[in-house]
Chains A and B, each alone.
Chain A
């Protein structure tokens, strides 16, 4: 027990004493907390510039253009004579869509014929396409419903019934948990979990590869603490450290950036314990495999991006091949991103994330065990070397 305590205290001290570790775990955590969310803070695309090619030039066509311009999604920044010119403007990225109102638009509408309009939307960026098409289609739909109701009333149908006939079955779509469909609200809760994992992995990897990676050696007789005490003591030290950083990332930062949180703090912290322990264990294994601080840094820096796409967050788990998904469960973030997001953003209970909770405890035990075995083997090799030297 005293061995465990010695390792724990020694390792906790090293976090602040070693400059590279301090830069990653403390400075890095603060830096990423400010830096990483920046691109997403505007939440949504507003007023995406589009052009209008108005071949009709009537009151109704101008009314349509005015209403399209008035939506939050798009802004009409150009009125162009023909589609060839407009396409060049799209290619040079000054506009992202072209709304073509054909000749006789108003006449056909008044005559009760279908009066189509054409929208050319830049689909090379997903969100741009979504904004442009969403904005224009919504306006066209409202205008169409008005026209249809007016026509039916003209035919002598009762106004209430006319409304019914043009829209007999209302579909109300209720977005849950992220009602504005904000991009920051979507991406940041998951990204924060991944950042926590990558920063801690890097920190543990550095601690395990920099000089003095074996704390707790007693000064008097130079005896080394046992493998179990070493691994346990280190993991407890990381747990204590994360007791400060994890609430910053999963509770304070979401609050600061205005991300909605439905769940309580306690379930988040309960899931956090196996998450931190499993990442710590993985970090110890990574350190034992790569054995040099530079290698640890290089490898971990590149692997973060693929981890994000494995978590079923940006790309649904249902369509990830099973073999890849099963292997990806070995990485804590795969379970943790979904687990934390559902607890915090969706307000799920611990029972709803039971499988994630069990998975993370399993990983914590597994990586802790592997780290112990690696420590044990290392000690045996060390002892054998010492024997040969003595002989």
Chain B
């Protein structure tokens, strides 16, 4: 380290000082390097099942006929649902939903089989818990697939009983089949989609807060800012040297996690990985500059970190992963647009699942570039303003500077 210390003031001096600083502050190093990866490992573990299958539902079979039993078998056989309990009466089934044991209750009425073949159109009722929206809808999907299949069998037999040829009957029972193609995500697997979006959301919090913290330590007082400037041989090299070590660490964190996601878990990577890297770099830089700007504007490290976490920790909802931006009100659209993460996630979805052609890939990346340039400009303006202030104060009231330096 001695050789490095003898370097002339400049970018590298601040750069190595920062790395030295990180080595002496294990907490900060853990926060920027280990915490995001550990949380990512936890989330990967939570979602390791891949798809939510065989969700428990209860059945209330009041008919106990061949038909009702075959419907229950079909419902149990769909990948989405599993018949976990038999309820003796409606109240018992309701209790199971309320205590969280099952997500739904399928009720097969008395005389189901008899009424079907007498043409009385009996009603099979599925009560499902939509308070947990995704889970509830998945159980409905299972029942929705199984019961019409059973009904189609009956329709087919009603027609063939009337003497219609089976092929004709089969065409007749579904006159307008809808062939649904799920673009970009044929298996409808949202776990991977969610997982791939969660790390950037966590990183956004970590980067903005850590930058506010690290820069805040050096600019909290004018005295410390002046030291930083002297070490860097100017404000620009000093700031660059201050931020670059973290940029490298965050790129590594993103790289490791993406290597796991795309390399080991084999998430789709339909687009261009070099665009993904560019977008990731601009995203990290924008977040760092946002944190830096907060630290420069607020001066106190505690306030800067508070505001940084206040803005970024609830940001997940605004970035349109769970509930798409398409359906948001004007305020949320506006706030979401001001988050670098929103555009990084857009670019990420473009380059991972959608595989956009090159000419349709640039928009989010150019927006991220504009963020980086714009925030760098604001940081520059603020720094110049602070320097001008300091110079004026130093000329006008030397006492004040002395007292601050002493404090």
Known: A170-B123, A315-B52. A298 touches B213 (CB 8 A): yes
The answer to whether A341 touches B131 (Cβ under 8 A) is yes
A20 to B301, CA, bound (A): 12
Min CB distance A71 to B, Å, is 14
The answer to whether A20 touches B302 (Cβ under 8 A) is yes
A193 to B365, CA, bound (A): 36
User: Residue-by-residue, is B35-78 near A (CB-CB < 8 Å gives 1, otherwise 0)?
Assistant: 11001001101111100111110000000000000000000000
Known: A38-B335, A178-B133. A302 touches B183 (CB 8 A): no
The answer to whether A318 touches B55 (Cβ under 8 A) is yes
Give the contacting residue for A305; candidates B181, B193, B198; CB below 8 A. Answer: B198
User: Residue-by-residue, is A111-147 near B (CB-CB < 8 Å gives 1, otherwise 0)?
Assistant: 0111111111111111111100100110011011001
Interface of B is mostly: helix
A32 to B98, CA, bound (A): 29
Known: A125-B324, A297-B309, A305-B198. A170 touches B42 (CB 8 A): no
A185 to B136, CA, bound (A): 13
Q: Which residues of A contact B127 (CB under 8 A)?
A: 174, 176
Known: A38-B332, A42-B329, A173-B126. A91 touches B360 (CB 8 A): yes
Residue of A nearest to B159 (CB): A165
Residue A378 interfacial (CB < 8 Å): no
Residue A172 interfacial (CB < 8 Å): yes
The answer to whether B125 touches A119 (Cβ under 8 A) is no
Those of A214-235 within 8 Å (CB) of chain B: none
Q: Which of A43-51, A369-377, A383-391 lies at the interface with chain B?
A: A43-51
Residue of B nearest to A165 (CB): B158
Chain A contact-residue range equals 35 or more
User: Residue-by-residue, is A309-341 near B (CB-CB < 8 Å gives 1, otherwise 0)?
Assistant: 110011110111100100000000000001001
Residue of B nearest to A147 (CB): B175
The answer to whether A324 touches B176 (Cβ under 8 A) is no
The answer to whether B326 touches A338 (Cβ under 8 A) is no
A314 to B56, CA, bound (A): 16
Residue of B nearest to A88 (CB): B360
A345 to B357, CA, bound (A): 46
A181 to B135, CA, bound (A): 12
Min CB distance B322 to A, Å, is 7
Q: Which residues of A contact B91 (CB under 8 A)?
A: none
Interface of A is mostly: helix
Interface residues of B (CB under 8 A from A): 27, 31, 35-36, 39, 42-43, 45-49, 52-56, 95, 97-100, 103, 112, 116, 119-137, 140, 143-144, 147-148, 150-151, 154-155, 158-159, 168, 171-186, 188, 190-191, 193, 198, 201-202, 205-206, 209-210, 213, 301-302, 305-306, 309-310, 312-314, 316-318, 320, 322-324, 326-329, 331-332, 335-336, 349, 353-354, 356-357, 360
Other A-B contacts than A341-B131, A347-B98, 12 sampled, CB-CB below 8 A, are A31-B310, A112-B175, A123-B184, A137-B180, A160-B119, A170-B123, A172-B125, A187-B133, A301-B312, A315-B46, A316-B52, A346-B129
The answer to whether B55 touches A316 (Cβ under 8 A) is yes
The answer to whether B122 touches A176 (Cβ under 8 A) is no
Q: Which residues of B contact A113 (CB under 8 A)?
A: 171
The answer to whether A144 touches B125 (Cβ under 8 A) is no
Residue A294 interfacial (CB < 8 Å): yes
Q: Which residues of A contact B179 (CB under 8 A)?
A: 116-119
Give the contacting residue for A301; candidates B45, B48, B309; CB below 8 A. Answer: B309
Residue A299 interfacial (CB < 8 Å): yes
The answer to whether B324 touches A127 (Cβ under 8 A) is yes
Residue of A nearest to B208 (CB): A301
Residue of A nearest to B135 (CB): A316
A202 to B98, CA, bound (A): 32
The answer to whether A127 touches B48 (Cβ under 8 A) is no
Residue of A nearest to B206 (CB): A302
Q: Which residues of B contact A116 (CB under 8 A)?
A: 176-179
10 contacts between A and B (CB under 8 A): A116-B177, A141-B176, A164-B120, A166-B155, A171-B147, A172-B124, A198-B313, A297-B305, A297-B309, A318-B54
Q: Which residues of B contact A123 (CB under 8 A)?
A: 182-186, 188
A357 to B177, CA, bound (A): 50
A35 to B312, CA, bound (A): 12
A118 to B180, CA, bound (A): 6
The answer to whether B174 touches A114 (Cβ under 8 A) is yes
The answer to whether B213 touches A294 (Cβ under 8 A) is yes
